[in-house]
Amino acid sequence: MRVALTRPVRWALRGGPVALRCCLVAALASALIAPSAAEARRRGDDEVDLQEWEGHITQLKRRIDRSPDNPNLYLRTAQAYATIGDTKQVLDYTRMAQDRGAHPAQAYLLLGDHYLKVHRFEKALQSFDRALRAAPRNVGAWGKAWTALYELRRSGKKTSVDVGMFANDLQAHGFYFPVSWRDRGQVPEEDPQEASRRTAMGYRLLDSGDMPGAIRAFRRAVDAEPTFADAFRGLGIAHARNKRLEKALGAYTLFTELAAPGHRDIAKIRKIILDYYEASSRRRSGR
């Protein structure tokens, strides 16, 4: 816990009278030891949540005893353990689910989500890669792989992952990954102002009907600030107008992942994605 000190308090601690310094030190120690009311409530809520999830896990294990060959019960138990951060149990129950026939994509998506949550980004990326090998058209998995690759590069940690190759795979599916982030060198500085300028340029080019120019502008915006959501929204529109629907879906998916909660366009973009997949499903089934 950090305690913010005002300038007079810092002065008193450094050069004030001895008695005053002693009182302040005692008060600060008390503040550090005793949690605030809000902190105490948060800790209490966390304890209640943990007890609820442990109770939920106990119930799931009883159901497993009654239906030991049901892979979904093992996946749900793994998900419950992921919620409370128990990596070992997540791995154990995910493996048992696969042994009983769970779809590999489901299992590896669950593992990838857990590794993202605990900031093990290379493991997350490897899990999403395996999910995609099992379900190459899973747009959600491509979006999560993009997030894992971005967080891995942003962390600056050494990795055995071929970032350039993975970025090319992402881009081929519409999940544009910034050029400057593709090598394993120094992590580039992010520039939100440049991203905003490039995004505004992209929308002007959209309005003028210059789709290739708009696509280039939106990509340069992402190069400047990889999580600039409106650049992905514009990139999706440009790809859609250019009749590159799968690439549009990739950009739209990243927009929904990166946009601030409550953004007015999230629901509309999600409906576009859903409508596309419903239409694709009807075409494949011949209806």
The pLDDT value given to residue 287: 61
Given the structure tokens 């009807």, which residue do they identify? 282
pLDDT tens-digit map of 67-87:
999 999 999 999 999 999 999
Given the structure tokens 């519409």, which residue do they identify? 174
The pLDDT value given to residue 197: 97
- CATH says 109-155+164-177 is which class? mainly alpha
The pLDDT value given to residue 248: 93
Q: Where are the domains of the chain?
A: 54-102, 109-155+164-177, 191-287
Measured over the CA atoms of residue 232, residue 237, residue 241 and residue 243, the dihedral's sign is: positive
The two tokens of residue 240 are: 């859609």
Report, as ranges of residue numbers, the positions in the chain whose pLDDT lies below 70.
Answer: 1-48, 184-185, 285-287
The pLDDT value given to residue 181: 84
CA distance 142 to 126: 12
The pLDDT value given to residue 47: 56
Please, are residues 196 and 161 in contact by the beta-carbon 8 Å criterion? no
CA distance 109 to 128: 6
The pLDDT value given to residue 14: 46
> Would the CATH topology of 109-155+164-177 be identical to that of 191-287?
yes
Angle, vertex CA 133, rays to CA 220 and CA 280, nearest 5:
75
The pLDDT value given to residue 135: 92
According to CATH, the topology of domain 191-287 is: 1.25.40
The pLDDT value given to residue 22: 46
